Amino acid sequence: MKNLIIAASLLIGVSAFSQAKLDPAKLNYFSADASPMDASYFPIQVTSSKSDAPKVKVVYSRPQKKNRVVFGNLIKYGEIWRFGANENSEIKFYTPVVISGKEIPAGTYSIFAIPFEKEWTIVFNSEIDKWGAYFYDKSKDVVRFNVPVEKTSSPIEYFSVTFVQTKSGADLYAGWDNSQVKFPIEFK
């Protein structure tokens, strides 16, 4: 009987503890990251049918312009950049693809850019789950290719990535400040 009373007391104590409400301020809800994480899919899933299954996904953080000159100033020309903010941006191909004449196996890759005024070098690297470009290892590059820079008609406040469908796949667009780049992705 004594053991039953002790067990019941413990059960009530654990139950009361699990019901306790935590102060939201102690949970740090109010310190949102200035560069929120986002994801872009192609195609955008509208149904659950197999034909709508994603073929490519980009997960990235969206830094803000905040009245700054971004390229050539905040992001230095000729230096490796994480293609966003915070953790390395990642691109996942659900099927093999061809980009700039180069076949890339299905898989997840870090995506970097080396911006210049008139063109960027886009880099897919096999090391994922890293912070920034601090630990970038060129020997882990899977593919590199160059894309021209287009000037935008108005500034883009948040770094953004989107897809536009084409006959053979999709064009990936990335834009921020007064610059954007695109590259075609052909699905195998």
pLDDT of residue 29: 56
Residue 8: what residue type? Answer: A
Q: pLDDT at position 45, please?
A: 66
18 phi and psi, to 5 degrees?
Answer: -70, -20
Residue 18 located in a structural domain: no
Look at residue 55 and tell me whether its pLDDT is greater than 60.
Answer: yes
Q: By residue range, what is the domain housing residue 82?
A: 24-187
Whether residue 106 lies inside any domain: the answer is yes
Is 7 inside any structural domain? no
Mean pLDDT of the region 130-159: 94
What's the whole-number average pLDDT of the chain? 86
In this predicted model, what pLDDT tens digit does every residue of 153-176 receive, in sequence order?
A: 999 999 999 999 999 999 999 999
Residue 5 in any domain: the answer is no
Give per-residue pLDDT as tens, 14-29: 454 445 566 656 655 5
Give burial (CB, 10 Å; 0-12/13-18/19+) of 30.
exposed
Q: What is the pLDDT of residue 5?
A: 56
Among 21-35, 65-79, 93-107, the minimum mean pLDDT is found in: 21-35
Distances from the Cα of 68 to the Cαs of 6, 38, 156, 157, in angstroms? 64, 22, 12, 10
> In angstroms, rounded to a whole number, what is the distance separating the alpha carbons of residues 78 and 81?
9
In this model, does residue 44 exceed pLDDT 90? no
Residues 121, 146 contacting (CB under 8 angstroms): yes
pLDDT of residue 185: 97
Residue matched to tokens 């949102």? 32
Q: How many CB atoms lie within 10 A of CB 83?
A: 25
Residue 34 predicted with pLDDT over 80: no
pTM of the model: 0.80
Torsion sign across C-alpha atoms 160, 140, 75, 78: negative
Residue 17 lies in a domain: no
> How many domains does the chain contain in total?
1
Looking at residue 50, the DSSP 8-state letter turns out to be G
What CA–CA distance (Å, rounded) separates 145 from 165? 21
pLDDT of residue 160: 95
Assigned domain for 60 exists: yes
